Chains A and B, each alone.
Chain A
């Protein structure tokens, strides 16, 4: 074959065909579903296009002037109009339902998903694992586990795109967005920022490293920073003085935070809200808009005082709070003006 075409072109072709140049790898459980929809769409619309082109070319040949000098004036046909209204409409509605189903599957995370936080900024991706592992422009995940990413941007819009997983979600300043996946095949995959974000937009790329669960455990151990997100959060909770009010006592000036995550709260303004990650973040930054019923809006705002990473730590800490024992312990140690407990002491659960 290569004798017939130029060697350069041949190199090109072989290179192309051997490196998955028209089909991305499937590396998540959802990928085959997306591909199935894509192929069905290609098939149906391809048939439609071939039909239209055949119609036009057919008419063009059959009714060219030489063969058909006498144009027959036709008004139209209600039956035909109805046909080509209803048939495309039926296909479109079919794909609407399929697409919607897939959308909910991709964007509604399962309850048991393990949560990793992602902070986007010009022009890097920071990932924070619950155990305190930090990564930049990389994301290590195990196979066979539902992984949810809770993402926020520090500055402009970004978008977390994982083509081999067939998922993508906008990363927005000021609010958490989430996406989830379940990786199937170990390997290294593309991570792109797909929303234009300034000069080095095309440099805001990285790798997703999918590992077997065992390798992942190894990696977690070797990359730990010594403090989990919740432990970091506990330190911030104390240093910001949160524990002064949120003591959990009956006489406390702020609501009890133990076990609050995931519950429904009756708000002062009459609405009911579910305490999500996003709710906790907003309540720290804009407390007066998030006052639970029966409490006074006395909490100061922490806008501009805590970084997005710090907020993530706090959210993780509040999520992990099951009792108020440690809150009161920390409070007593600060109040009794003893030396701050060393890191070893605070880390122990």
Chain B
């Protein structure tokens, strides 16, 4: 009876699909493990697209205000630490590299290597956030955080050793827009890092159990894609925020 419904729809009889064994990780609504892998990877790319649109709104705002208030953006940008920014860029690119190594380790079923590379990636993620934290702390100390305590005096009367061009008061007020965007963009980026680190802990635990070194590499691959996206967003943020007009 069960077969009548479907066979009656077609002139030919369909061969039962489960003649061969499925890998344990294949979810039963997929026909093959390959289909599952393609779907997961395609879904991840679509998700990355939504992430790009999400940041896209901020980049539009950045573009507009940078055109309007260029001087304020230059002065705001010059208060950031180029050293810490570059360091963070290096840290993040390295972590992207170790993540790629992790994907390779999972694909070649090397459990020890996978644990090592995921561990390094996790560590570098924390280093990035730590450095970001130092930078944020400095902004708090200088009252460069937008809101009630925002202070423009440094832009109107820059300290003599800084070689900065003093800004007129009205333009100095616009540095608040720069810092709004700085905190919104790096903050949302950091939030993505924190989420990524959370997921990394889970992946590490499961990798330690040996889940990903028996052919089931999709979660590691997808997380790798996510981590690279977070990296790429930073590659855009760094020049846009830190390198507006360095001299």
A binds B: yes
Interface residues of A in 251-300 (CB under 8 A from B): 285-289, 297-300
In the complex, what residue of chain B is closest to A298 when comparing beta carbons?
A: B168
B69 neighbours in A (Cβ, 8 Å): 289
A298 neighbours in B (Cβ, 8 Å): 168
CB distance from A87 to the nearest CB of B (A): 36
B71 neighbours in A (Cβ, 8 Å): 288
CB distance from B221 to the nearest CB of A (A): 43
CB distance from A275 to the nearest CB of B (A): 18
Say yes or no for B89: interface residue by CB 8 A criterion. Answer: no
Q: Report the count of interface residues on B (CB-CB < 8 A).
A: 9
CB distance from A144 to the nearest CB of B (A): 42
CB distance from B61 to the nearest CB of A (A): 16
Chain B at the A interface: mostly helix, strand, loop or mixed? helix
Say yes or no for B171: interface residue by CB 8 A criterion. Answer: yes
- Across the interface, A300 reaches (CB within 8 A) one of B68, B167, B168, namely B168
In the complex, what residue of chain A is closest to B167 when comparing beta carbons?
A: A288
Say yes or no for B173: interface residue by CB 8 A criterion. Answer: yes
CB distance from A317 to the nearest CB of B (A): 21
CB distance from B74 to the nearest CB of A (A): 13
Q: List 11 A-B contacts (CB under 8 A).
A: A285-B170, A286-B170, A288-B168, A288-B170, A289-B68, A289-B69, A299-B168, A300-B168, A300-B169, A301-B168, A301-B173
In the complex, what residue of chain B is closest to A286 when comparing beta carbons?
A: B170
Q: Footprint of B on A, CB under 8 Å?
A: 285-289, 297-301, 303
B167 neighbours in A (Cβ, 8 Å): 288
Q: Is the CB of A303 within 8 A of B173?
A: yes
A297 neighbours in B (Cβ, 8 Å): 168
B68 neighbours in A (Cβ, 8 Å): 289
Beyond the given A289-B68, A289-B69, A297-B168, please list 7 additional residue pairs across the A-B interface where CB-CB is below 8 A.
A286-B170, A287-B168, A288-B170, A288-B171, A298-B168, A301-B168, A303-B170
A303 neighbours in B (Cβ, 8 Å): 170, 173
Q: Specify which of A287, A288, A299, A303 lies most central, judged by the most chain B CB atoms within 10 Å of its CB.
A: A288
B173 neighbours in A (Cβ, 8 Å): 301, 303
CB distance from A223 to the nearest CB of B (A): 36
List 6 tightest A-B contacts by C-beta distance, closest first: A301-B170, A288-B168, A288-B171, A286-B170, A301-B169, A297-B168
A303 to B68, CA, bound (A): 17
Residues 122-155 of chain B, each 1 if its beta carbon lies under 8 Å from chain A, else 0: 0000000000000000000000000000000000
A297 to B69, CA, bound (A): 14
In the complex, what residue of chain A is closest to B169 when comparing beta carbons?
A: A301
Interface residues of B in 65-84 (CB under 8 A from A): 68-69, 71
A298 to B169, CA, bound (A): 10
CB distance from B67 to the nearest CB of A (A): 11
A301 to B172, CA, bound (A): 11
Interface residues of B in 165-192 (CB under 8 A from A): 167-171, 173
A285 to B168, CA, bound (A): 12
Interface residues of B in 31-70 (CB under 8 A from A): 68-69
A285 to B68, CA, bound (A): 14
In the complex, what residue of chain A is closest to B170 when comparing beta carbons?
A: A301
In the complex, what residue of chain A is closest to B69 when comparing beta carbons?
A: A289
In the complex, what residue of chain A is closest to B71 when comparing beta carbons?
A: A288
A288 to B69, CA, bound (A): 10
A287 to B167, CA, bound (A): 11
Q: Specify which of B69, B168, B169, B173 lies most central, judged by the most chain A CB atoms within 10 Å of its CB.
A: B168
A301 to B69, CA, bound (A): 15
In the complex, what residue of chain A is closest to B68 when comparing beta carbons?
A: A289
A299 to B69, CA, bound (A): 17
A321 to B168, CA, bound (A): 27
A285 neighbours in B (Cβ, 8 Å): 170
Q: Specify which of B68, B69, B170, B171 lies most central, judged by the most chain A CB atoms within 10 Å of its CB.
A: B170
CB distance from B11 to the nearest CB of A (A): 20
CB distance from B245 to the nearest CB of A (A): 14
Residues 157-170 of chain B, each 1 if its beta carbon lies under 8 Å from chain A, else 0: 00000000001111
CB distance from B75 to the nearest CB of A (A): 12
A289 neighbours in B (Cβ, 8 Å): 68-69, 170-171
A60 to B168, CA, bound (A): 74
A286 to B170, CA, bound (A): 5
In the complex, what residue of chain B is closest to A301 when comparing beta carbons?
A: B170
In the complex, what residue of chain B is closest to A289 when comparing beta carbons?
A: B171
B169 neighbours in A (Cβ, 8 Å): 300-301
In the complex, what residue of chain B is closest to A302 when comparing beta carbons?
A: B170
A300 to B169, CA, bound (A): 7
A301 neighbours in B (Cβ, 8 Å): 168-170, 173
A328 to B169, CA, bound (A): 28
In the complex, what residue of chain A is closest to B166 when comparing beta carbons?
A: A297
CB distance from A289 to the nearest CB of B (A): 7
